[in-house]
Chain A
Amino acid sequence: SQQGEEDPQALSIQEGENATMNCSYKTSINNLQWYRQNSGRGLVHLILIRSNEREKHSGRLRVTLDTSKKSSSLLITASRAADTASYFCATDARGSSYKLIFGSGTRLLVRP
């Protein structure tokens, strides 16, 4: 069963624009993570945000977490063609600290 669901499923923007992706989840969590996957490659970790944090930054990335709405957003500012990838959120599996449940991802295309 899916814990995190990303929205939109696909996003196409012009280089230089900002990209916002959203993730909604169903049960309470300890942490939420965002990963990037370039075509044909493994996933690369971007950011981990804890349930007691509301916002976190890493370079051009900004992640917010609203536990009352059970949602998170990933903002990529000043996008580049190299940001073209799929982005996944991952949350704890209910009752297990050893498992992450991944959403189905947002496919981002940044046009040069």
Chain B
Amino acid sequence: NAGVTQTPKFRVLKTGQSMTLLCAQDMNHEYMYWYRQDPGMGLRLIHYSVGEGTTAKGEVPDGYNVSRLKKQNFLLGLESAAPSQTSVYFCASSLLAANTDTQYFGPGTRLTVL
């Protein structure tokens, strides 16, 4: 099993450009999450999904959109990138709800917005 994979690994954008980050998991997990991690800080939840076709806002959802059309995929979109969105983005998944189960993390996407 590949676990949780993320594409791309690195990306540089100019302000105002758009992009989509792809997260895929092969563990048949119901729950999926997108986090961002800024230097010296812990992870902050952007959006999450409790099942196929559902999405919900986390702590810092502004400027991002998500979709969960297939159970195994969770997409994070930036419609108009801003320098404040420069960060490392992590996707995670879990079989059960976050507070009762292990979250499995992808390797991260390092995004720079110029």
Contacts and interface: CB of A to CB of B under 8 A. Distances in A.
B42 A92 contact: no
A56 interface: no
A59 interface: no
A43 B31 contact: no
Contact of B104 (A30, A31, A45): A45
Interface residues on B, range: 20 to 34
B99 interface: yes
Given A42-B105, A42-B106, A99-B58, A88 B99 contact: no
B42 A30 contact: no
Contacts of A14: none
B interface: dominant SS: loop
B73 to A, nearest CB: 17
B90 A42 contact: yes
A101 B104 CA distance: 15
Nearest to A105: B42
A interface: dominant SS: strand
Interface string A74-104: 0000000000000010011100011111111
Interface residues of A, number: 28
Contacts of B42: 2, 4, 88, 102-105
Contacts of A35: 103
19 contacts: A29-B99, A33-B102, A33-B103, A35-B103, A40-B108, A42-B4, A42-B105, A42-B106, A45-B102, A45-B104, A48-B101, A48-B102, A92-B99, A97-B98, A98-B56, A98-B98, A98-B99, A99-B59, A99-B99
Interface of B: 4, 31, 35, 40-45, 48, 50, 56, 58-59, 90, 92, 97-108
Complex A-B, nearest 5 residue pairs according to Cβ-Cβ distance, in ascending order: A42-B105, A102-B42, A92-B99, A45-B102, A102-B43
